[in-house]
A = this chain, B = another copy of it.
Amino acid sequence: MRSNEVKNRTSTDVIKSLRLITAIKTPYLPDGRFDLEAYDSLVHVQIENGVEAVIVGGTTGEGQLMSWDEHIMLIGHTVNCFGGSIKVIGNTGSNSTREAIHATEQGFAVGMHAALHINPYYGKTSLEGLISHFNSVLPMGPTIIYNVPSRTGQDIPPHVILSVAQSPHLAGIKECVGNDRVAQYTMGDIVVWSGNDDQCHDSRWDHGATGVISVTSNLVPGLMRDLMFEGKNPALNSKLIPLMEWLFCEPNPICLNTALAQLGVVRPVFRLPYVPLPMAKRIEFVAIVKEIGREHFVGHKDVQVLDDNDFILVSRY
């Protein structure tokens, strides 16, 4: 189902060279539909601050809470509005091979530049099954594979990656297992992005990682740009660590969603099963913003604590 004409088709090499990729937040209207105006503003700020690519509908962007038509629409929308300024990587992975194939075909058809693929979480499979799964989608275009055992319940071992790396479309690995694994891949000339913001400085400068697929860059894109582009900077890294620790005190994107609402750049709307952080943690965030400097964060309004009843939780949408 490939097209001859896909505009802005991107080579795998271009994907391999990206250093700062944001797993972009999906903001919602009070009825739970996408708030595309807020989304456009978020992506715009990413571009202005030098972010090179976005993951659309990643776990951070809550792809797991989207219907597939919403998901593909958001990829197509992002390509259509911003595809000339930033690379668009669609999270078209699934624990169902059928769904991964269908979504990836559709994502490339609407112009995404690369696909992000996860191993089959929850249902899991054998190592041979993993290889079959990835090989079902790799022929379609540039691909990043995402390894996050704390979510999937199953590590993708290096020999599986080596097997699928025979495809010229494998751009690299988003790796969350730690810097030893990162180094193991980069020594073998496999491109790696850190999937852990608090490790990414060391991954990049000490272990050969090309960059990061970041949650934190939703909040401080300029500082994350510095961290990935301007050379080793332990001082900046240390300055950001408290923010990063706060950001992962609950399963992501709970903290990010809360923070962006406090910064006034998204409506305080949560799709269940996500719920906002409690008051005490929101107060902490205000202090963290002041410590790092409001000017480094996205948005222009004062950071707020918000009341519990400012938040809207939606379960039917």
A residues contacting B by CB (< 8 A) are 1-7, 29, 31, 33-37, 39-41, 43-44, 59, 62, 64-65, 68-69, 72-74, 76-77, 79-83, 95-98, 101-102, 106, 109-111, 118, 120-126, 128-130, 132-133, 136, 149-154, 250-251, 254, 271-275, 278, 313, 315-317
Contacts and interface: CB of A to CB of B under 8 A. Distances in A.
A315 B101 contact: yes
Contacts of A69: 68-69, 72, 106
Given A1-B29, A7-B81, A124 B98 contact: no
Given A3-B39, A65-B123, 20 more contacts: A4-B40, A5-B82, A7-B81, A62-B123, A64-B96, A65-B98, A68-B69, A69-B106, A73-B109, A74-B109, A77-B110, A80-B80, A80-B111, A98-B315, A98-B317, A120-B273, A129-B251, A132-B273, A132-B275, A153-B153
Nearest to A250: B126
Contact of A136 (B82, B101, B315): B315
Contacts of A4: 36-37, 40-41
A37 B6 CA distance: 10
A77 B275 contact: no
